[in-house]
Amino acid sequence: MACSASTCQSNCYREQQDEEEDVKDKNTNPIATNTISNRNNNNGLCLKCKANPPISADTDGDDSRFCADCFRGNLFGKFRFAVTSNAMISPTDSVLVAFSGGPSSRVALQFVHEMHNKAQKNFDASRDRSLPVFGVGVAFIDESTVYSVPSNETDKAVEDIRFIVENLAPPTKRLHVVPIESVYSSDSGDCRERLKQLLDAVKDVTGKEDLLLHLRMLALQKIASQNGYSRLVLGSCISRIACHVITATVKGQGYSLPADIQYVDSRWEIPVLLPLRDCLAQELNMLCRLDGLKTVELIRSPCTGINGLVSSFVSLLQEENASRECTIVRTAGKLIPFHFNRIQEIDDSNVPLATRRRQKRYNLKPNECFSLESFCFICNSPLSKSDLLSLRNLESCQTSPDNCGAACCLSCQFQILPQDPSLLDQFSAILPQQLIARAKHDNLDSYSGLREQIQDCLLSEGEDET
């Protein structure tokens, strides 16, 4: 542990700080890293240790510059830097890792497990044992209802996931396998049938995929809330975030885009963490092959519509230039984050002083004018002020709280909600109760407060605009 004392001559804190600065420079300037590596890797040895041959000499990625050990250390360094610099996990937290079976979530689970294992060893080795060990759980959302997967294949996938979690070294981790229809309460009738009706009511292909994504997040939040977790870790990497940047822009979600691409997203009841934000999908796939990390292949329909087109487009760009995805995410990262894109300041004696210092040093500096936000009741995206200043929407929300269109972002209005106003009531009846409650209470309160703020600027019915 770093002592950080000014009189200490061991340079323990300084070495750790320099290591984090090196990782930060590599994350923010991959072009410079590639230039240096190409200049110094002419001898056919690993760029870092200069003792072992690189993994591959046929690519332009990290596997062509580092040996297996250094490659893994570099990837884990990105993960560790994201966690420590943003104060994502404290000793008193309980972390839920969302596991889909793919390489990204598998690496996220492995890295969280290694941090957990190290924390437990430090706890066992300490004399006073005053520093607690954060808890870890794993969640898998069963979507066989949506994709009509045979029951035997679903059972096999669940058994494989259970095998992966149980074979992680102690401390043990609790596994939660929950069907996606659990977003409905148990007293709301046939949950599976209601979910099918909801998805069938969405005619737009892209809207149906987006709604399923929102329901998946809703299910994860429900698991975390009911089981006492304080953090939710997702395996989203640069490749997936790059696709989201373009799809959100195409769908008209540019205002809310900064909220989705940060390391931390605290707009949810359980804050969402993206510790693999600086890792490429190619790197994660390579690590799974090198370390023999078992993944689970699930039968799912390929993305179509806007999501499928953008995914193919970004993949093509990445094949032409290996830095395209990094460039997309780095450019979008210049957008000003929201106030909820950070973990609240830690004021706990159980948290190491170094962790609190890192938070103050590296944490995002949000625009404080976004202190009051209204959110779309379906996707939970922040609503722009131009939408909130619409007098027609304010009045419709006040006169009819069940009117879903008044509390939605434009993307959900055009792609998810029925275009026929007469079908809105029928659509609302098959929504999960949590979404209905959000539409009736959160947005109504925000709209009422905003109307009071701008009341002096509004025109009465008898007044002329001129």
Most confident of 85-94, 242-251, 351-360: 242-251
Whole-number average pLDDT of the chain: 81
- H helix intervals, 280-406: 281-291, 305-320, 324-332, 353-362, 385-388, 391-399
CA distance 75 to 62: 9
From residue 19, alpha-carbon distances to 26, 39, 80, 173, 269 in Å are 11, 22, 11, 30, 33
CA distance 402 to 415: 19
Q: Is the pLDDT of residue 433 over 60?
A: yes
Residue 281, pLDDT score? 94
3-state secondary structure of 204: coil
Instruction: Tell me which of 40-49, 132-141, 311-320 is least confident.
Output: 40-49
Q: Is the pLDDT of residue 400 over 70?
A: no
Residue 229, pLDDT score? 97
Residue 342, pLDDT score? 86
Q: What is the pTM of this model?
A: 0.82
Q: Residue 188 phi/psi, 5° resolution?
A: -100, 20
400: CB partners within 8 A, 6+ apart = 406
The pLDDT tens digits of the residues spanning 162-173 come to: 999 999 988 889
Residue 394, pLDDT score? 43
Is 377:417 a contact under the CB 8 Å cutoff? no
H or E element, residue 120: helix 103-125
CA angle (216, 415, 369) in 5-degree steps: 75
Beta strands in 373-457 (DSSP E): none
Is 363:87 a contact under the CB 8 Å cutoff? yes
3-state secondary structure of 216: helix
Q: Is the pLDDT of residue 291 over 90?
A: yes
Instruction: Tell me which of 191-205, 210-224, 450-464 is least confident.
Output: 450-464
User: Which letter does DSSP use for residue 420 in this model?
Assistant: S
- The average pLDDT across 353-371 equals 52
Torsion of CA 164, 240, 370, 253, to 10 degrees: -130
Of residues 400 and 320, the one with the higher pLDDT is 320
**Tokens matching residue 36:** 């240096």
Q: What is the DSSP string of 236-279?
A: --HHHHHHHHHHHHHTT-TTTHHHHSSSEE-SSSS-EE-TTTT-
The pLDDT tens digits of the residues spanning 262-281 come to: 999 999 999 999 999 999 99
Of residues 96 and 461, the one with the higher pLDDT is 96
Q: Is the pLDDT of residue 1 over 70?
A: no
The pLDDT tens digits of the residues spanning 50-86 come to: 888 888 755 556 667 889 999 999 999 999 999 998 9
CA distance 101 to 24: 29
Instruction: Tell me which of 188-192, 219-223, 345-349, 365-369 is least confident.
Output: 365-369
From residue 354, alpha-carbon distances to 4, 17, 118, 441 in Å are 8, 10, 17, 40
Instruction: Tell me which of 186-190, 319-323, 347-351, 416-420 is least confident.
Output: 347-351
Q: Is the pLDDT of residue 377 over 50?
A: yes
Of residues 20 and 344, the one with the higher pLDDT is 344
Q: Is the pLDDT of residue 382 over 80?
A: yes
Instruction: Tell me which of 55-64, 205-214, 348-357 is least confident.
Output: 348-357
3-state secondary structure of 8: coil
pLDDT bin (cut points 50, 70, 90) of residue 393 is: very low
H or E element, residue 424: helix 424-429
Strand order through the sheet with 174-179: 174-179, 135-142, 94-98, 231-233, 272-273, 264-265
Q: Is the pLDDT of residue 3 over 60?
A: no
Is 214:459 a contact under the CB 8 Å cutoff? no
Residues 136-150, buried b or exposed e (16+ Cβ, 10 A)? Answer: bbbbbbbbbbbeebe
- The average pLDDT across 130-135 equals 86
End-to-end CA distance of the chain: 69
Radius of gyration of the chain (CA): 24
- The average pLDDT across 186-207 equals 88
Residue 73, pLDDT score? 94
